[in-house]
Amino acid sequence: LILKLNPDAQVAAYIHSLTATRIKFIYLPQPETQKDISFSNHISNLQAHAPLVKDATNNILHHSSSRFIGFVFDLFLTPFIDVGNQLGVPNTEFTIPSYINPVSSKLFPTILLNPESNSMATTLVRWLRKAKGIMINTFWELESHAISSLSNGSVPPVYPVGPILDLERKSEVHQNSDIMKWLDEQPPSSVVFLCFGSGGNFNEDQVKEIASALEQSGHRFLWSLRQPPDPFKGPMASQTDYDDASEILPEGFLDRTHGIGKIIGWAPQVAILGHPAIGGFVS
């Protein structure tokens, strides 16, 4: 079941290309009551989807002979645990380990320092205690200390199920892309890849500083540069690609770095990191 909350078209296409044929996506419509997209109303907006989730689940059960084992939700959909409880099935969710030791507030994302969004995050985390288990995309050998710290009985059982990677086949999205072709033309271990994730975006001054450092370094680079989400689209808005990245980069940067650097938008990160031309990763 898929909730279409301000989806990113490119990311949606990439996810769909990785989907096994035996998985069927059911896209739920947006409820008529979903008007306010502010942080403070994010929980109520999610709860408005609950009847749709319940109806879709009952419809699946009615037309299928398969046994319903349970729900798997991601962290932001914890309010739907109650739907699973109403149907009498176990459920499970995704989350990630948090900081074990105290960390300066200056290092936390802005979203956690906003009173409204912090309240939303706290509410979502409280729902985690209702889960029968928490699945994390990691593995024991990588984060044994964090996993042990979360296995003290104060939270539901934690199951490290990773690493979840697409290593068998290339995505249709990047199979014939100019990104991979450009990397094919570069020497082995010569390119620095810059990609800052779904929450990694910068203002114009920061972009110019990074660009200046890249130019002065003289190294080959591949930079996934995306613009911040539209603040008027609410907390679930996604980053988007620049129509013209030269507008935010230093004047003449693209001309001066032509041949040794490439600016892209959304990036197939796993495929790029696995390419022989990549010699460094900045994230």
Q: Confirm whether 36 is a catalytic residue.
A: no
Kindly report the backbone phi and psi dihedral angles of residue 141, in degrees, each rounded to the nearest multiple of 5, phi listed first: -65, -25
Q: Which residue has the tokens 């985390």?
A: 125
Cα dist. 246→201, 212, 223, 260 in Å? 16, 13, 13, 16
Length of the chain: 283
- Contact (Cβ atoms closer than 8 angstroms) between residue 183 and residue 275: yes
Q: How far apart are CA 274 and CA 268, in angstroms?
A: 10
For residue 89, the surrounding DSSP H or E stretch is none
266's CB contacts (< 8 A; 6+ apart) are: 8, 10, 11, 14, 224, 226, 241
Burial 3-36, CB ≥16 within 10 A → b, else e: bebeebebeeebeebeeeeeeeeeeeeeeeeeee
- Contact (Cβ atoms closer than 8 angstroms) between residue 100 and residue 144: no
**Token pair belonging to 33:** 């009551």
Out of 55, 74, 178, 230, the active site residue is 74
**Token pair belonging to 58:** 């009952």
Q: How far apart are CA 147 and CA 8, in angstroms?
A: 32
Active site members: 74
